[in-house]
Amino acid sequence: MKFTKDEIRASMLLYAVTDRMWLKEGESLVDVAEKVLQNGATFLQIREKDLDEESFEEESEKLKALCNAYHVPFVVNDSVEIALQCGADGVHVGQSDIKGRDIRAIIGPDKILGISAGTVEQAIAAEKAGADYIGVGAVFPTSTKKDAKPMETELLRRISNSVSIPVVAIGGINAGNILKLAGSGVDGVAVVSAIFGAEDPGRATAELRELSVQMVAAHE
């Protein structure tokens, strides 16, 4: 499934990143992901740190099929190989993943390529490397990356202004702080624990989507 540049920009609004550590007994990641998509998530990334390759690929295939049904882009975090094997819409990679590798050449022109960036220089280089969007953070303190220092809003604004491709903010974002990003120029927010760690992920998604709409509208 190919997405246009405008569709990719719009899909940054509420970018959900999976985290299986929050799953309750008897609950599958696909079950929770469906609730999240039903309630307005506009993009889905599978992030797995501990699954073996076969299980990672199987889970990715299930989530890809689910995202297809909702016409929502689906990308795999870090693993270009899994992304290609499962037919994902694309891949999201960090700075360490792109050193010495032309990811765009590996995945081809039609896959979505997201690259993490923490500086203006990294953002500009990511766009030149063929990125379709940039993930920037951590914008707030986060439990998923304990070594990440929160980013000043001014730097976030400068990064957003330095590129023509969409920018999604990530890191510690929740319903209580999302509106602090108003005026930063980002196209949306990427959320992990505030969705997958919520008591009711569906309700949390609906609330975050509404707040993200307000946040993005406040840039203007």
Catalytic site positions: 47, 116, 145
- Picking from 122, 131, 127, the residue whose alpha carbon sits closest to that of residue 156 is 122
CB atoms within 10 A of CB 101: 12
- Calculate the alpha carbon distances from 53 to 17, 50, 60, 80 in Å: 19, 9, 10, 12
CA distance linking residue 207 with residue 209, whole number of Å = 5
Cis bond leading into 138, ω under 30°?
Answer: yes
Question: What DSSP assignment string belongs to 3-48?
Answer: --HHHHHHHTTEEEE--GGGPPTT--HHHHHHHHHHTT--EEEE--
Helix (H) or strand (E) holding 208: helix 201-217
State how far Cα 34 lies from the chain centre.
16
Number of neighbouring beta carbons within 10 Å of residue 49:
11
